[in-house]
Amino acid sequence: MQNFLIFAILILGFIITFQIARASEFVSVIRGEEKTRKQSNKINGALLLVFLILGLFGVYWTHHTLGDKILKIGTSASDHGRLVDNMMLYTIIATGIVFFATQILLFWYSFKYQESDKRTAYYFPHNNKLELLWTVVPAIVLTILIGFGLVYWYRITGAAPKDAMQVEITASQFKWEFRYPGKDGIFGKKYYKNIDEAHDNPLGQIWDDEANHDDIFLPAGQALHLVVNKPVKLIIGSKDVIHSVGLPHFRLKMDAVPGTPTTLWFTPIKTTKQMAEETGNSKFVYEIACDQMCGQGHTGMRGEIVVETQEEFDQWMASQKPKYVQMKEDAAPAPAAAPAAKDSTGAAAVKDSAAKKDITAK
């Protein structure tokens, strides 16, 4: 029924449009086609000029009122993010100049050079200088932009430094889980068939591998901790569908693909406290957003990152307990309760004097 109504509305709209067009033709015939055309040109020319003015004012107004609600160029919190901001700035400058020049001229010429009995149109089919100008100049500008892009792209996607900190990020509907290598600096092996949430093995770690015994696991809901001015390499994976690690404040993103680990590296350059002061938001946190539609809970798939000094990170890390140790402690039997002390008659000794009196009275 709903599809039928939609179809009926579309047909009705077509009929109305067709009837309006026919009515316009009849009016043109009655009033004179040439007179009607000239009058329409004046109206359209004035409307185009009004549209230009209102459009430019709208660009200014939206920037003025909503400018503080977007990520501004130059506020990136990573070294790679600065490169991304630079590319965005160069692109906006180049395309912005072209946009404003062409749009202002387009609408102004539409108004100024509308049909007039006092002016004869001049037609020219070919102009070598003009064609060379609008071909060569855009080609040079685009080549420069592409050159910057390639240089920055290879910096961003190149190999991480050898001393980079490594963190594993695992996505699943609809949460993020993290793992740090232990003191040995090596991630323990894992196998997807070992994933067992019920038996406290959410990543499928192979416990026979000793490298797993000191790995630090952070479940969903805990924040990822990074060190300021220290490169970090993220090893990204997924347990179910395709997700995407989006780091808006660092200007980076990378897909999380099931069965195919991906990597991403960068260097945080501002601590969480510094960003809180810079933004004026005392509750500021770096966000991990899922940038790939992954199901009904996609919009709530959010993680947090804490960027701190090396000393703060070391203190936090010292408070963490390896997943293997936690499992051993949970599986260990509870210690037996100490036997109660006995008096000379074999009855349990009662230390509280009031309790002794109560027992004697009974």
Give the global pTM.
Answer: 0.73
Amino acid 351: pLDDT: 46
- Cα–Cα dist 233/230, whole Å: 10
- Cα–Cα dist 179/170, whole Å: 8
CATH of 32-116+127-157, one of 1.20.1070, 3.30.450, 1.10.287, 3.30.2310: 1.10.287
H or E element that contains 166: strand 165-172
pLDDT reading at 360 higher than 60: no
For the chain, how big is the Rg over CA atoms in Å?
Answer: 35
pLDDT reading at 355 higher than 50: no
Is the bond preceding 57 in cis, omega lying within 30 degrees of 0?
no
More confident residue, 331 or 296: 296
More confident residue, 337 or 192: 192
Domain 165-331 homologous superfamily, CATH: Cupredoxins -  blue copper proteins (2.60.40.420)
Amino acid 156: pLDDT: 85
Query: Domain limits of the chain?
Result: 32-116+127-157, 165-331
Q: What percent of the chain lies above the pLDDT cut of 70?
A: 88
Amino acid 356: pLDDT: 44
Amino acid 354: pLDDT: 46
User: 153: pLDDT confidence band, cut at 50, 70 and 90?
Assistant: confident
- Cα–Cα dist 19/26, whole Å: 11
- Token pair, residue 252, equals 């980076």
- Token pair, residue 108, equals 């102004």
As a whole number, the mean pLDDT across the chain is: 85
More confident residue, 36 or 132: 132
Amino acid 120: pLDDT: 80
Q: What is the pLDDT of residues 71-103, one digit of tens each?
A: 888 889 999 999 999 999 999 999 999 999 999
Average pLDDT over residues 290-311: 93
Average pLDDT over residues 319-330: 85
Q: What is the pLDDT of residues 1-52, one digit of tens each?
A: 667 777 788 888 888 887 777 776 666 666 666 677 777 888 888 888 899 9
For strands 232-238 and 262-266, give the pairing: antiparallel
Average pLDDT over residues 273-295: 92
Is the bond preceding 174 in cis, omega lying within 30 degrees of 0?
yes
Q: What is the pLDDT of residues 229-250, one digit of tens each?
A: 999 999 999 999 999 999 999 9
